[in-house]
Amino acid sequence: MTISPFEDRYKTEMNEIFEEENKLRKWMDVEIALAKAHVGMKTIPKDAVGKITGGAKKVRLERVKEIEAEIHHDLMAMVKALSEQSGDAGKYVHLGATSYDIEDTATALIFLDAIGLLEKHLSEFSEVLRSIAIKHKKTVCIGRTHGQHAVPTTYGLKFAIYYQECLRNLERLHEAKKRIGIGKMSGATGTMATFLGNGGKIQTTVMKNLGLKPAVASNQVIQRDRHAEVLFVLALIAAMLEKIAKEIRNLQRTEILELSEPFGAKQVGSSTMPQKRNPHKSERVCSIARLVKANVQTALENIALEHERDLTNSANERVIFAESFIATDYMLSEMLKILEGLEFFGENIKKNLEFTKGLIMAERLMIFLVSKKSYGRQEAHEIVRQLAQEAFRQKIHLKEMVKRSKIGIIMRDSELDEIFNPETYIGEAERIVEEATKQ
């Protein structure tokens, strides 16, 4: 029986990284690295590493769980299970270490694997954004601010903006790896006392063997600002995906319908309304994004542990780490499918450009009066504002209102035709898209 939807409904390949079996293996990888460091310091026999390594291959999660049920300590349960399988070298397992020397170092390994997978999927997602931006760099549409029609823009520019944000999130993931790829082997309060003067060398050796950097200073745990940073980057990725999904949802509204997420031939939109084409995939992304963003608050609370540490971070981290990574990976997967099947409705895009009867070209008319007809900017703004308000009240095209006004006599028909052509008022949008998608 599964409780969390991340175990089935929203499951991705990220799940394997956070499964208990993998965590157990990572814990034992750290124990083996510790044994190797001890051999280097000549504090345990040379053959101990081989025996502990062999023992690790025999340890089973079921046995660890069995021991944990008796002693109520998950890490020590692994130590006992590994010791059982390591013969006479079992007495050297975990020598000098405290639980979170193993757990936090293993968590760093898990995070690096998880970030690597996300980088791969985010890179794939960015390429889809890039291709849409290039394909639609000349697709003129109405821009909206405050929920109102503003001036024309292009779908290429919309997706170029998303693409650039995606690149920034890739940079953030890369940067986060530098600060999360840290391990420790410093004991109960960070003093390395149990290593009898060899702590610095042992920690350096262990981390080198694991491909991590050693913490310069720590107490019983790796400081939680590192983990909070990673979860914050995941939240930024989630917020980006939510932004795109929300735009798709709004543009799929019946009265707008400029584009739509894919809808399968046998897909059901509603149990009672057969006509419905609900954007439920995009809505699901928006819903899960809230969860990922909320987990950042918990991660921030975990930073302020008491003294050299307490256990208030432990239980919630069993939830928020895996959940945030899996949720983000799932959202990426869903949004990739949405974008690959995104449907554009050209007729509606053009219809919406004309929906306000030329009012969206008021800005262009104002600029024309200033640049070509010698009006002051404020004067031109007021003239056009009054004309636009009157056109709105009379429900006529702004171009017709201009023709009837005092400025109509100074405007040629060819000039008005150009001014009120939204297809030619996109500024440098094409160049911006081309520059943005070169990276």
Question: DSSP secondary structure string, 374-396?
Answer: ---HHHHHHHHHHHHHHHHHHT-
Residues marked active site are found at: 146, 270
Closest CA to 207 of 116, 102, 113, 95: 102
Rounded CA-CA distance 75/104 in Å is 11
Domains assigned to the chain? 5-260+275-349 (1.20.200.10), 359-419 (1.10.40.30)
What is the predicted pLDDT for the residue at 271?
A: 74
Closest CA to 227 of 292, 317, 307: 317
Q: Are 342 and 259 in contact (CB under 8 A)?
A: yes
The encoded tokens of residue 140 equal 């003129």
276: pLDDT strictly greater than 80: no
The pLDDT tens digits of the residues spanning 5-58 come to 988 899 999 999 999 999 999 999 999 999 999 999 999 999 999 999 999 999
What is the predicted pLDDT for the residue at 278?
A: 86
Rounded CA-CA distance 103/24 in Å is 10
The pLDDT tens digits of the residues spanning 112-133 come to 999 999 999 999 999 999 999 9
The structure's pTM equals 0.95
What average pLDDT does the structure give for the chain?
A: 96
**Residue 72 — left, alpha, or beta (φ > 0 → left; ψ -120 to 50 → alpha)?**
left
* Torsion, CA 225, CA 229, CA 235, CA 241, rounded to 10: 180
Q: pLDDT band at 166, cuts 50/70/90?
A: very high
280: pLDDT strictly greater than 80: yes
